[in-house]
Chain A
Amino acid sequence: MSKKTEFGPPLNPRGRRLEAKELESITHVRAKVPAKYAWAAGTAMSRFLEELKNGKIIGRRCARCDRVLVPPRMFCERCFQPTTEWVYLPGTGVVETFSISYIDTNANRIKEPILVGVIAFDGAPPHCGIMHYFGEVKPEELKIGMPVEPVWKPKEERVGSVLDIKYFRPRRK
């Protein structure tokens, strides 16, 4: 077969060009995934959520390694032992790590960056804290080790969620 035939006009001169949409109807199949869940929070986390509603932060102590786990767990993953005691924490702590985030979930650049990080609580050892937002602070002022405190939503707006805390802000003396 000659090169000329190979690259020549379509064999069916009455054929027509397929529109992109038309083509897609046979090249792809679309579907939504209807997945819905209702996870039990469990013994420890239910109490944690209840106390958030009360404006309090509670942890569980492991008697073997003496860590206070926040959020609380019924067993210590290091010792593989049941935790033994509920411990109320003052809620204050320090910034353990943070990141100034300039990209949203849809991968768009955002003007006002979102400040996220990990708070190590007073009364609990390092690496036992929770993740949250920071507020009332300029991005350039945020530092690892900075003392912070929680800013709670008004009592009537709390629903038993980690978002019952609006954010953490630099601690006021």
Chain B
Amino acid sequence: MRDVAVLGVGATAFTSQTPEVNWKELIYDAAVKAYAEAGIDPRRDVDSFVTCAEDYWEGFSIFDEFTPDQLGGALRPTMTVCGDGLQGLATAYMQIKTGMFNIVVVEAHSKISELLTYEHIVELAFDPIYERPLSAEREVHPYYVAGLEMNLYLHATGTTEEQCALVAVHNRRQALNNPLAPYGARLGLQEIFHSGYAFTPLKKWEIASRADGCIVFVLAAGEIARRLTKKPLVYVEGIGWSSESPWISARSADASYARHAAQMAYRQAGITNPRRQIDVIEVEDRFAFKELQHLEALGFARPGEAGWLAQSGALGLDGELKVNLSGGSLGCGDLIEASGLQRALEIVLQLRGEAGARQVPNARVGVAQSWRGLPHGTGAVAVFARRD
């Protein structure tokens, strides 16, 4: 079966607000960069366009209808995936695999600063009959679910609060090396603890701030990509996704959604020992403990081991596991449905050797993982590699 390569990527910087452009102009900016890098004209060369969006984030119903213009997709096959960017990438990957399409564009964005009632929309994702009344009655912020999950995870694995806080310290610091990231900072453990409990045992500064931004990927069938460019290509070697049952009370302590998604992607990519075979890792960390939980779910550590790795300095550019060098969601911001594509972007830059001050020498295989965020349990995992 034909293989799938990344022909071009483009992204805007990520920022807390983007009042100077509307969402179409934001997407256009990222698309122009991706097409320039890929050396293609979307009006002529692209066979299909995939946008990742959810109506409530946008404030438009049937958002699918708004996607063609800013991608150059008017009067061409377009579609919207109501999910994270990696789920959109999976759709594009499959479209190419069928042989029906040679070049497919994937776009994911966040204009979340324009949603004035974010907490209420998250709350609207709770089961309306049983779960939402409990949240609405006393007007508790819906992120208390992260507190529930973290408490369960710490209890199940023996991971400590300090180990989780270290993730926030690392990722905010790593973001200083990423010119796209808005939330880089040199913080100590003390400051994370001092920020106070938001939802025990979760602290305020262990929660990623939201950000606006857009990322566009151009994927192409391997044989087409190799004809179009002489540059070394990054390939999508495997991609998987899965969803847990949405009942909050039935949630696993080990991010099962991510484990299943990883197994699916690893199987396709021939990954049997992720810790040895994978050089760069981007996992979802909207809440600091999630990085540790996801590292374990993806097979980089045994349950309870990821926290020790964080504490012993094994996570980061100088450690054994090169994790979230982009700064992760804590450093780049919670990009909502674009979060997974931001992770994929970092892996592509790393594998191409274009990651600047945070470059991992000779990185050849990388993994990007997404989690769609609270209150639900949907995750996706993509494995990328260079073959030259």
Interface set of A (CB-CB < 8 Å, partner B): 29, 31, 33-45, 73-75, 77-80
B124 interfacial contact with A, CB 8 Å: yes
B140 interfacial contact with A, CB 8 Å: no
**Chain B residues, CB < 8 A from A78:** 43, 74
CB distance from A47 to the nearest CB of B (A): 12
Of A35, A40, A74, A80, the contact of B43 (CB 8 Å cutoff): A80
The total of interchain contacts (Cβ-Cβ below 8 angstroms) comes to 71
B94 interfacial contact with A, CB 8 Å: no
Which segment of B115-123, B141-149, B272-280, B342-350 sits at the interface? B115-123
Contact (A34, B117) CB under 8 Å given A42-B22, A75-B28: yes
**Chain A residues, CB < 8 A from B28:** 74-75
**Are A45 and B74 touching (Cβ within 8 A)?**
no
**Are A36 and B41 touching (Cβ within 8 A)?**
no
The CA-CA distance from A31 to B136 in the complex, in Å, is 10
Query: In the complex, what residue of chain A is closest to B24 when comparing beta carbons?
Result: A42
**Are A40 and B115 touching (Cβ within 8 A)?**
no
Of B69, B72, B128, the contact of A29 (CB 8 Å cutoff): B128
B318 interfacial contact with A, CB 8 Å: no
| Chain B interface category by residue count | 20 to 34
Within 119-141 of B, Cβ neighbours of A (below 8 Å) are at: 120-121, 124, 128-129, 132-133, 136
**Chain A residues, CB < 8 A from B23:** 39-40
**Are B69 and A77 touching (Cβ within 8 A)?**
yes
Of B43, B59, B128, B129, the contact of A39 (CB 8 Å cutoff): B59
Contact (A80, B41) CB under 8 Å given A34-B120, A35-B120: yes
Cβ proximity bits B134-176 to A, threshold 8 Å, 1 near / 0 not: 0010000000000000000000000000000000000000000
CB distance from B50 to the nearest CB of A (A): 17
The CA-CA distance from A120 to B124 in the complex, in Å, is 42
Which segment of B13-21, B177-185, B286-294, B363-371 sits at the interface? B13-21
**Chain A residues, CB < 8 A from B353:** none
**Chain A residues, CB < 8 A from B72:** 77, 80
**Are A37 and B59 touching (Cβ within 8 A)?**
yes
- Extra inter-chain contacts (9) besides given A35-B56, A36-B117, A79-B43, CB under 8 Å: A33-B124, A36-B115, A39-B59, A39-B114, A40-B19, A75-B28, A75-B69, A78-B74, A80-B72
B25 interfacial contact with A, CB 8 Å: yes
**Chain A residues, CB < 8 A from B120:** 34-35
**Chain B residues, CB < 8 A from A73:** 24, 69
**Chain B residues, CB < 8 A from A41:** 22
**Chain B residues, CB < 8 A from A34:** 117, 120, 124
CB distance from B136 to the nearest CB of A (A): 8
**Are B74 and A35 touching (Cβ within 8 A)?**
no
Query: In the complex, what residue of chain B is closest to A45 when comparing beta carbons?
Result: B22
**Are A42 and B117 touching (Cβ within 8 A)?**
no
Of B22, B24, B114, the contact of A37 (CB 8 Å cutoff): B114
CB-based closest 10 A-B pairs: A42-B22, A77-B69, A80-B72, A37-B59, A36-B116, A34-B120, A36-B117, A77-B74, A40-B22, A42-B25
Query: In the complex, what residue of chain B is closest to A78 when comparing beta carbons?
Result: B74
Of B24, B68, B116, B128, the contact of A38 (CB 8 Å cutoff): B116
16 contacts across the A-B interface (CB closer than 8 A):
A29-B128, A34-B120, A35-B121, A35-B124, A37-B115, A39-B22, A39-B23, A39-B59, A39-B114, A40-B20, A40-B23, A45-B22, A73-B24, A75-B70, A80-B42, A80-B43
